[in-house]
Structure 1
């Protein structure tokens, strides 16, 4: 059968509010999510059995193959659909792991898209959506891989028309466990950070066709509630934000997800490129990407 390929784009949380912690221990969030033009690549050779091999600069960070999110998502889909054609996955890993940009989730989402193509399943097949939700909180948004608001524990998506934004993304090559950041946030089960009234009164996002400046203003009114606890877990996040905010042409800088990756939005592609060059020279050990969010 023909080799199939999917791109697993990095997710960036432009805003992230933690509304509270539910009785089951999960956290309810409200996040504006976009996707970057940096990505992993996943291929599938359909066939009997299920296996995964890795390559690329991040291959050594992928951990045990059997526990990889690609394998977990594929196994779960196979359990739901008798006779599902699986095969051999090859992951070309470029995105940093445990980085707050959904690298593993994007890989798993790409695996589900590949299996849908190999088996003639509709992209909106309910069984694929169920596996995405059950395998990881960020997998549903990565399955869509489009600008949207994400609410609940990540399962509720509402698509948005967001303009392209020049950006620089930085990871200091320090992994940060999401569970450690939420632990540092310190919410007890059933505890709220935001009341219903706060959510109802929160500003909506700009209408379709709104300008870059309107979006920057709206995003600037937001926050990432995980930034403060992430700084306690890994103070280098503060160094990354300081480096981004010191560059020319920067309009906004913030941490993505639970960190440690941070991003900055710039006025122009040229400003982003120059900022990336300057930061790379000052911090050669950091992962730095200049590109576009959309």
Structure 2
């Protein structure tokens, strides 16, 4: 069988509400998730073994291969699928790590899609879905990589129809550990951050076919509950948000996930490209991407 290739697209949390912390310590979330047009690339060359090699500009940031979620996902699937065909994975790493855009989760999800292709499995195979959930909270949403409302600990996904959103993503090349951000949030086991009434009320998102303006207005009424604690841990996040907010044509600027990547939404791609060029010129050490969310 020839080599197979998939992309691990960056996940962007357009909103992120922490509903509360369960008695088991996990946090219940509600998040509108979109996916960007920047991605890692992962290739599977079918074979008898299971190996991972990393290449690309950010390969060194991946750490030890044995700790990579790609191998974790493959090993978990091998435990559940008899005679699973595996092989050699190559990960071309271009997305920053520990960045709030699900890079490692997107890579693991791409690896699962490759194994599904190599073994004739459907993406809704219960074993594949279970492995995605066990590999990491963001892996289920990255498996399909479609815009949705993600709730619970990431296992419940409600599809959304988003317009194309011109955007700029900026990461100051400072990693932020998700566990540190949730610790800084300071919820006790069993503590709710919002009332039951708020949970039931929810947010009425625009219907399918809603305009970019309608979506930005709706998104602006929400927020990211992790933005404040993440900024306390890494104050440079505030600098990134300020740079995005000050750029011409920025309609909305916010942090994604647990940081430190932030995004801004623009009226059109020309404004997004101009903003990205200026931010990159002013901050050459930052990772900057101009593109489209969908």
Same fold flag (TM > 0.5): yes
- 1:202 to partner: Cα distance: 2.6
Give the corresponding residue for 1:191. 191
- 1:82 to partner: Cα distance: 1.4
Give the corresponding residue for 2:100. 100
- 1:196 to partner: Cα distance: 1.5
The separation in 1 between residues aligned to 2:240 and 2:104, in whole angstroms, is 22
The separation in 2 between residues aligned to 1:52 and 1:133, in whole angstroms, is 21
Secondary structure of the corresponding residue to residue 34 of structure 2: strand
- 1:203 to partner: Cα distance: 2.2
The separation in 1 between residues aligned to 2:292 and 2:51, in whole angstroms, is 33
Give the corresponding residue for 2:79. 79
Alignment of 1:1-294 (within 5 A): 1-294=1-294
Secondary structure of the corresponding residue to residue 12 of structure 1: strand
Secondary structure of the corresponding residue to residue 95 of structure 1: coil
Q: What CA deviation, in whole Å up to 9, does each residue of 1:5-34 have, x standing for no partner?
A: 001000000000000000000000000000
- 1:88 to partner: Cα distance: 0.2
Secondary structure of the corresponding residue to residue 121 of structure 2: coil
Q: What CA deviation, in whole Å up to 9, does each residue of 1:211-267 have, x standing for no partner?
A: 111111110111000000001111000000000000100000000000000000001
- 1:144 to partner: Cα distance: 1.1
- 1:204 to partner: Cα distance: 1.5
The separation in 2 between residues aligned to 1:46 and 1:222, in whole angstroms, is 45
Secondary structure of the corresponding residue to residue 23 of structure 2: coil
Give the CA RMSD over aligned residues.
Answer: 0.5
The separation in 1 between residues aligned to 2:69 and 2:77, in whole angstroms, is 12
Secondary structure of the corresponding residue to residue 259 of structure 1: coil
The separation in 2 between residues aligned to 1:202 and 1:2, in whole angstroms, is 47
The separation in 1 between residues aligned to 2:203 and 2:143, in whole angstroms, is 27
Secondary structure of the corresponding residue to residue 110 of structure 1: helix
Secondary structure of the corresponding residue to residue 206 of structure 1: coil
Secondary structure of the corresponding residue to residue 15 of structure 1: coil
Q: What CA deviation, in whole Å up to 9, does each residue of 1:155-211 have, x standing for no partner?
A: 000001000000000000000000000000000000010122001223221111111
The separation in 2 between residues aligned to 1:174 and 1:67, in whole angstroms, is 20
Secondary structure of the corresponding residue to residue 16 of structure 2: strand
The separation in 2 between residues aligned to 1:166 and 1:151, in whole angstroms, is 25
List alignment gaps of at least 5 residues for structure 2.
none
The separation in 1 between residues aligned to 2:257 and 2:217, in whole angstroms, is 20
Where has structure 1 moved over 3 Å in runs of 4 or more? none
The separation in 1 between residues aligned to 2:79 and 2:4, in whole angstroms, is 22
Provide TM-score, normalisation by structure 1.
0.99
Secondary structure of the corresponding residue to residue 105 of structure 1: helix
The separation in 2 between residues aligned to 1:262 and 1:100, in whole angstroms, is 8
